[in-house]
Amino acid sequence: MNIFTVILAATLPTAIYSLFIWWLDRYEKEPLWLIVVAFFWGSIPAIGLSLLFELGLELPLAASPIGPDVAAWGLAPVVEEPIKALALVGLFLFMRHEFDGVLDGIVYGSLVGFGFSMTENLLYFFHYSANLGALFWVRSIFFGLNHAFFTSLVGMALGAVRYHPVRWLRIGACTLGLALAIIFHALHNLATHYHLPGLIASWIVQWSGVLVVLAIAILSWRNERQWIEQELREEVSTGLLSSVDYAEISSPARRMQRQLHTLLNQGWASYWRVRQLHHLATKLAFCKTQLKLADQRHTCDERDQLRSQISDLRAAIERDEQLWGQA
């Protein structure tokens, strides 16, 4: 089997799924380096640690009263899901200013899961390369969202309690999300022992869960749009933003239209300034909302600094428009 074909079979679907998740984060996209960190954790450290623990526990568990059958379908979920979730807990604790809510939890959790499934698929495809066609359809297509779905449950749980002041509730939410991830993963593994009927049942459960996650993501869009609309009205009334800016920032489609128009008519430098204006105004709206929620990760100084940066950008954009209007 051609090595390139094996690598492509594992990486191409993952790239498509990851781009969709990146697109799903419509208003305030996460920093690229954090996206890479989340994906990298799933693809290398999480896989490596999982293999070490599973190899170390497989024989003792198989010889225990649990028996080899339960160990076969129950060991991987109990080992893999907590290891994948470590990345989300780390982001939640140390990069909370970039963890704004449920949608961010879905994004980070899905990327960790996609990284994990990509490397796992590579290992399977190389080992069973004679059956690559069948494995590709089963692992990359029919169940290609499995790991992303499992890990996103932990991310959603953390995002749901992002602004809750009670510590034990945050810990409880994380534990609940992790428990659900383990249960869904274990049910999938158990279902595969029942051949085609089990695979069909598992596929229905997985895609039902994915659709629920997508529905929650869409509701999160509405929530984030309300933050932007409510918090930026004040900035329009003070003159920091124009009504045109406000309409563009509130609509991903209008943002894209303005940015594309600027790129085609004024060049890269002007495009970057318009894009940065949209980004900083969104950050300002989120910062003001989080200040109202008594989030100590954000300060009035940060809010004022964002306003100053936006003012400078708007002045530069107005100069660009005057310059190109005279050309």
Q: In terms of residues, how long is the chain?
A: 327
Over residues 105-134, mean pLDDT: 94
pLDDT one-digit tens code per residue, 70-90: 666 778 899 999 999 999 999
**pLDDT value, residue 290:** 84
Domain limits, the chain: 3-222, 238-326
Query: How far apart are the C-alpha atoms of 216 and 208, rounded to whole Å?
Result: 13
Under the banding of pLDDT at 50, 70 and 90, the label for residue 295 is: low
**pLDDT value, residue 70:** 66
Over residues 203-218, mean pLDDT: 93
pLDDT one-digit tens code per residue, 9-42: 999 999 999 999 999 888 888 899 999 999 999 9
DSSP 161-207: TTT---HHHHHHHHHHHHHHHHHHHHHHHHHGGGHHHHHHHHHHHHH
What 8-state DSSP symbol labels residue 293? T
Q: Is the pLDDT of residue 326 over 60?
A: no
**pLDDT value, residue 19:** 95
Query: How far apart are the C-alpha atoms of 311 and 30, rounded to whole Å?
Result: 23
**pLDDT value, residue 165:** 78
